[in-house]
A and B are shown apart, each in its own frame.
Chain A
Amino acid sequence: MKVHLPNSAFLGNINAFLRIIDVSNPELLEITANKKWISVHPVVLCIVASLGLEVLSRNSDSPIRCEQFTAKSKHYFKRMGMFDFLGLDSEIEITEHESAGRFIPLTQIKKSADLSKFIEDIVPLLHLDQKNAQPIRYIISELVRNVLEHSNSKHGAIVSAQYHRKNNTIRIGIVDSGVGISHTIRKSHIAETDLDAIRLALTPGITGTTSKEGGTDYNAGAGLFFTKSIAKINRDFFIIYSGKTLYKLLREKDGKDVILFGDPLSDKHTKDIDLPNWTGTVVGIDIGLNETEEFTKLLDTIRNTYAASVRERKRNQFKRPKFI
């Protein structure tokens, strides 16, 4: 496997980074990087960490080759825990006077109890006030629980987040190397392509655990819809990548009312259906803190869309007697 950390890879331009990931040869991971400056979204770090865990679990000799980082921004990767996570000696020193910033370093979550503890730490690590803490811990809880319940990933969820002062934005990445969305959704629904599966996974009320409306006693099929909705209402990016397909929710323009849709393909989005095959699921989201909608208002909008979407599907399934 090969991965190259480019000059820039954020949710808006992440396609180029994903396109050149080489997932062949799972015995070896080669990491290269831009020589001058590397600036990436936390989801990129989660992807690298996930690939690293995969090769490390195969017990081959020296499974990770990482070239010496020369970019001035190399300290970022040390701070975010990438080298430690991969068991590499970066030879990068961090001096005491450097600001710690607001970030959550790469963290592996394998159990429900670990998630509860992790969520407690989010607010102080990111220095969030109550208003901004609500959607962020909500998103992380729902997405990581998805991984723990559905992915069958032996490595659990890899999570990382970073506050970016320039945009006043929290950027979050959550990645697993499990079975992927298509495998999960196809247990209960027909999905010919990865895009079909992602579309169903983002539709409110649809879960891979049952074909019934309303889900099971334990799964409603709402976590991803809520997450996408929070991003959309706040006019932020949201990406989900599984199999060979990337779905990217684009940012809404300022000044216009935001309308939620039950069908994610009705949202302003792009899709890339021919990327390297990611067996698990990658989710990235940005939450701008300037325009964060009041969480309760956001819930009102989600409630209306959710109920309308489920009612519409129930109406379509409603059968009338045939009088002949």
Chain B
Amino acid sequence: MKTIKLFPIVGSFAENKDKARDVRVQEIIPILESGDSLVLDFDKIDSITQSFAHALISDLIRNYGVDVLDRVSFANCNETVAKIIEIVVDYMQ
């Protein structure tokens, strides 16, 4: 299982969708394509926007199906971050 630490890439307020898309395309998808699982680590991130979360994970659910959530885990999410991720996962199903 591989871990992607997001704070060094996106800072404490994760709102830049371009960076979210870059992480998805350049880091997440290659890991999933290799058959491995991964952890998205939100340590030190105090808030995200729905747009950021959407750009990060919506296409994974669309392309791999909702079962991709068995291979992608979310670590160190505070309540706000967790709720926004849940909103995106909800509406993508």
Contacts and interface: CB of A to CB of B under 8 A. Distances in A.
A138 interface: yes
Contacts, number: 83
Contact of A116 (B11, B58, B87): B11
B51 A299 contact: no
B47 interface: yes
B91 interface: yes
B87 A299 contact: yes
A310 B80 contact: no
Contacts of B79: 296
Interface residues of B, number: 28
Given A119-B13, A119-B15, A299-B84, A218 B91 contact: no
A220 B54 contact: yes
Contacts of A145: 15, 17, 51
Contacts of B21: 217-218
Contact of A223 (B50, B84, B90): B50
B36 interface: no
A67 interface: no
Contacts of A19: none
Contacts of A223: 49-51
Nearest to A134: B47
A217 B55 contact: yes
Interface stretch (A89-97, A186-194, A300-308): A300-308
B80 A220 contact: no
A217 B57 CA distance: 8
A140 to B, nearest CB: 9
Given A138-B49, A226-B50, A296-B79, A220 B58 contact: yes
B11 to A, nearest CB: 7
Contact of A214 (B11, B58, B80, B87): B58
Interface string A66-92: 000000000000000000000000000
Nearest to A214: B92
Interface of B: 11, 13, 15-18, 21, 24, 46-47, 49-51, 54-55, 58-59, 62, 79-80, 83-84, 86-88, 90-92
Q: 6 closest pairs, A vs B, by CB? A: A217-B59, A141-B15, A299-B83, A220-B54, A303-B87, A307-B90
Given A145-B51, A215-B58, 14 more contacts: A112-B16, A116-B15, A141-B13, A142-B15, A142-B51, A214-B62, A217-B59, A218-B54, A219-B51, A295-B80, A299-B84, A300-B83, A303-B87, A303-B90
